[in-house]
Structure 1
């Protein structure tokens, strides 16, 4: 790989897509141009692979890192997929419910949640998620002993004991908490121990012989912190969390004000 060629890793939500509005045309065009200019473009999302919607699949990515580094694919072929043991998945559901949290179990092929528990009151975009998943949605009920998951999004409810739930599950998962003003402010992400976006990026660099100096990341939220601490060049979105903005080499505009295009232009990649 020549040193002029960059590998650019893009977060999804809040960076290149919005759960209601999808991906701005300017971002799709900018990533297409990036590829045409000989660079690599990787999706690097906290979403599990099952929850990567069609509008992201249409973007000409080189490959995808999903579930905060637990799943890696290139050119549509799955290269790596770290799953939690099924008995740990079951225990996780029981533990979260015991402490008043609502489990959303995320896998590479399916997402599992019970609609009578994970309601629109708990999450206003629940129906959007269910619609996007289509046949990839499954209830937890009936699948308790056979859930294939990479990570969990636990939804906090009034009066829940999230500290204790996280403590009990800490031998299996690392915890990502979000700032309360973020659209995922009431969500706690539980990812397999030792798994994060930086680990996913490092694995891709190792497999495909990408020099560290060539790594560029775009992100906005606290589940992007690991990749911001890891990558050579860091671009924060204009809507980014305070921590992300502090770590950035450059803060671009938000995604609906040409943030991806402006960021890639500023770096001289398009």
Structure 2
């Protein structure tokens, strides 16, 4: 087998919804890289939310912010942030609506004034929906390096996530920010728990294209691993799409292969199945 380029989503794919990284996934990635393959995480997280235990696996780089940030080795290939004016507009609008939020940048995750207490129930519900026991998780266990009490007017934002009081909050955000990409996560439609606002006209698939061009690799040599709808552009772009069994129905329906759940050695077993290790 020739050298491949492997893109792995983080939440729900590389780690479970309690942020646990299986030893088998670490072993698989290290073995694959020893075999000459390149491995990048491809995630909605900003670099500040990629904690040291993930970098310690050994990676070739990352796509972050759902495509707004690309790093290969120590080189930043691409980075597009929300403008300072747009960022202020988002913060002011969320404050006026009484919605708690956190700002996502490579320098840190910055929480709104009452995000920790308001977000507790939401984070627990999100964990429950993913088939895990959310009763013991807290905002600080899910976001261990979140920054509280900082200035919320920033010029380095990749995206902003906010807690939905109702689905109508998302619909109003779509109208309020026509020049930005507004989405939801933590459920589909009326069951969504969070809204998010980010850079328009960029996604994981487009970022894969840019990274491959930078490193001189071919689409024919790519694998994508994911668990959710946000990973679909990555699956559409890459030669082989692998969904974890613990993922959503939409991503599993379009996958070329469905591996075991995160906690059942899904990454390791898929790498073995495809001869990457």
Is the CA contact (8 Å cut-off) linking 2:170 and 2:183 kept in structure 1? no
Q: 1:174 to 1:198 in 2, by over 3 A?
A: farther
**In structure 2, distance between residues paired with 1:194 and 1:159:** 23
Residue of structure 2 equivalent to 1:269: 276
**Alpha-carbon shift at residue 45 of structure 1 (Å):** 0.7
| 8 Å contact kept, 1:220–1:236 | yes
- In structure 1, distance between residues paired with 2:149 and 2:238: 37
Higher helix proportion: 2
Long gaps (5+) in structure 2: 125-137
* SS, match of residue 193 in structure 1: coil
Q: How does 1:112-191 map to 2 (within 5 A)?
A: 112-119=110-117, 120-124=120-124, 125-133=138-146, 137-139=147-149, 142-144=151-153, 146-158=154-166, 161-180=169-188, 185-191=192-198
SS at match of 1:83: coil
The SS at the match of 1:161 is helix
Retained in 2: the 8 A contact 1:11–1:45?
yes
Secondary structure, aligned partner of 1:195: coil
**Distance in 1 separating the partners of 2:113 and 2:17:** 19
Q: CA RMSD in A?
A: 2.2
| Structure 1 counterpart of 2:43, from 45, 50, 54 | 45
1:31 maps to 29
Cα pair distance change 1:210/1:139, threshold 3 Å: farther
When normalised by structure 1's length, the TM-score is 0.88
Query: Residue 252 of structure 1: CA displacement?
Result: 0.3
Cα deviation for residue 113 of structure 1 reads 1.3
Query: 1:177 Cα shift?
Result: 4.3
Partners of 1:96 and 1:15 in 2: CA distance: 30
Task: Give the match for residue 10 of structure 1.
Answer: 8
Q: Tell me the CA shift for residue 205 of structure 1.
A: 0.5
Matched, 1:244 2:251: yes
Paired with 2:26 and 2:163, the residues of 1 have a C-alpha distance of 31
How many residue pairs end up in the alignment?
261
Rounded Cα–Cα distance in structure 2 between residues aligned with 1:11 and 1:39 = 17
**1:163-187 deviation digits (Å, cap 9, x = unpaired):** 1112211312242545359xx9412
Distance 1:21-1:90 versus aligned 2 partners, 3 A rule:
closer
- Identify the match of residue 207 of structure 2 among 188, 191, 200: 200
| C-alpha separation in 2, matches of 1:233 and 1:220 | 14
Provide Cα deviations, 1:25-44, integer angstroms capped at 9, x if missing partner: 00000000110111111111
